[in-house]
Amino acid sequence: MRLQKLYILISLCLTIFQLTNCHSPRREVLDPEITMAKAVLEAYKDSLSQNPNAVIDTLSKTRSRLTDSLMFYKLSNALAKTYFYGNQLDSSFTINQLVINFYERQLGRSEVKELAYDAYNSRGVLLTQINKRDSAIVCFLKAYKLMRETRQVDQLPHVCINLADCYQLKGDFTSASYYYRKALTVSDSLQMSKKYNLSILSGIAKLYHELENFDLAEAYYKQANELLDGHSDHEKFFFATAYGNYNYATKQYDKALEQFRQSLQIAKRSTRTISLGIAAGNIGEVFLLKEQPDSARYYLDLATQYFGDLSTHTSLQFYMNGLYASLALLENNLPEAERLLMRPFDASQIQPQYQYFHHKRLHEFYLRKKDFRKAYQYYTQTVIYDDSLRNIKTRNNIAEIDSRYRQDTILIRKDMQIALTESRASQWQNIAIFSIIFLFLAVAFVIGIIFYRRKLREFRYQKQVATINGLRMEIVRNRLSPHFVFNALNTIMPTLENYKELQEPFRLLIQLLRNNLQASEQMAIPLKNEIILVKDYLKLRTLKESTDFSIDWQIGENVPMETLVPSMSIQIPVENAVKYAFTSQSIVPCIRIQIDLQHNSLSIVIEDNGVGLNTISNINDKRGTGSGLKMLYRTIEILNTKNNEKMQFTIQNRRDTNPSEEGTRVTLIVPLGYKFEL
């Protein structure tokens, strides 16, 4: 997940701190101090974010020469904004509250209202900065009301953008869409498109990106891209970061990297180190997906440096830990990945999409550790979060479409001029009826999608079963058509009466082929039949050539021999050990087959003291070294979905558990009463 929410918050704060010229209809005394204050205010109104410390010093000195007058509070309002740009939030809050208190004492004066709407707008920005979004929305609505009362309609698009951004941060996409479109309508009506439309179109594009309506998002991003010239750096930063996130979401990583690098260059021209952190963090995340760990680490470390004290913020710290965990997994540094992923966190402070990626990383981590039980648990959690997030996005899409359907340009203009008449109330009633019908159809559509996904899961399951059956048939074919072979051997057996030394090998071969064919056609066979199959194979192998390895059978007295086990589950590992475990340099080769009853489960352990697993061949498929083991593993994997108690099948180097031991250990744990049914 990218730094989208934090990015919108900072961009909102950067775009809305603009000075507004307040022209009082009352004649003020033009004494030298006030004249100088006006000159200072005019000179520095476009420089608040360039060199905030110098501006703070000048405004403070000028303000100290004035008394409790309107100009004093205009300078105070500008000073509060400058403190914000200088990252001095406490001072900004204090002075902003001073301006609001002045307004509350002078409620009747129109020129004070003009100052107040700017102060409430600034208050909303400050509250947004500390994640008090509900309070911020209240302040923005007060500013919106004061603007309409004082007829300062040229500032209406500005406050509508602020409201839309704040609602989008809250996840209320319906309200966000409403205010973005209202801002677009007002700016077009006032012929102020060049001033506001870049921010509006970028915001709408970001909204549709969040809703995963990528076609509409792409269309609005292209419109916004044509308006970049002549706009401020923070507006360009907003666009570059948002468009980069869009390309990231649509897996166009090279385009995303290009946009994020542009945002980093733009951020370097400002004094906001948090913008640098956002840009560097986004670049690092793209390099993670491109599997370039060195570049990823460089930019993630750079982002951490830029964030500074903000890196201790709960959600930001959780996000950065997740990126470093992904980097550790990419570098196959499992201890570091475990350290980062196991850090405790307050789930109530973390957004669901971040928790989704956290569980996804844990799933990958436990897969690499070969702890398939935990890997499956986190995979299940990932699916639950994914379904939940998709349901939320589906509901938001429906609500946004409904809201867009009900936003008619003519009604918005009339809403700005006069109250609704009785006839318009009737029109809205009809629209409401159509909206209910539309919502009903949308709900039916969502239900249809749910059933479709359920059918799709069933289809995938049947496909897995077909794959297992196909593997079984392939094994049967690969065994040279045993039906034909042992029938042919039965035919020639009578001719071998004069060759006594050949009768026993041929008899064993026919019996082995018959038992092997029967086993390959069954999902499970009794343990005693599997043991007979293995012993026949080993006996035939001994007759075929002299062997210098020994077989050590250790079967517990209380082992129920009728217990069902997966067919060929002992024969395949034993055959692999006979073929590949030993070399000419092996000392006292031995294969041990240990069968015990442990905790209401049948335990089968097949060990050899040979060369061990081939590490290279296991990188791509840790489930086995050949088609037989793959078939056995996948069969167990599917059967486990039908049983509460899971069958366990593992293959490991004995050296992993005891450095003094050599060879391979294959372990199969079959719970008693296990159901071999698909």
Residue 277 corresponds to which amino acid?
G
pLDDT category at 471 given cuts 50, 70, 90 is: low
Inform me whether the pLDDT recorded for 370 exceeds 70. Answer: yes
pLDDT (0 to 100) of residue 74? 81
Residues 377-435 have pLDDT tens digits of 878 877 776 666 555 555 554 554 545 545 444 444 445 454 456 556 667 888 888 88
pLDDT (0 to 100) of residue 468? 67
pLDDT (0 to 100) of residue 401? 53
> What average pLDDT does this structure show over 506-521?
66
- The pairing of beta strand 648-653 with beta strand 601-608: unpaired
> What average pLDDT does this structure show over 286-301?
89
Residues 171-192 have pLDDT tens digits of 788 888 888 888 888 888 777 7
Residues 78-124 have pLDDT tens digits of 878 777 777 777 888 888 888 888 888 876 677 787 788 888 888 88
> What average pLDDT does this structure show over 152-181?
82
Q: What is the CA radius of gyration of the chain?
A: 36
SS3 assignment, position 603 = strand
Locate 111 and state its tokens.
């020129």
E strand or H helix that includes residue 593: strand 590-598
> What average pLDDT does this structure show over 586-606?
90
Q: How far is the CA of 85 from the CAs of 98, 158, 564, 622, in angstroms?
A: 18, 19, 73, 54
- Average pLDDT of the chain is 76
> Can you tell me which residue has the tokens 């217990």?
563
Distance CA 220, CA 204 (A): 7
pLDDT (0 to 100) of residue 25? 36
pTM for this predicted structure: 0.49
Distance CA 625, CA 616 (A): 10
Distance CA 74, CA 278 (A): 33
**Residue 159 CA to its chain's centroid (Å):** 32
pLDDT (0 to 100) of residue 358? 81
Residues 577-592 have pLDDT tens digits of 888 888 777 778 899 9
Distance CA 305, CA 350 (A): 22
Instruction: Encode 240-262: b = buried (16+ Cβ within 10 Å), e = exposed.
Output: bbbbbbbbbbeeeeebbbebbbb
pLDDT (0 to 100) of residue 480? 45
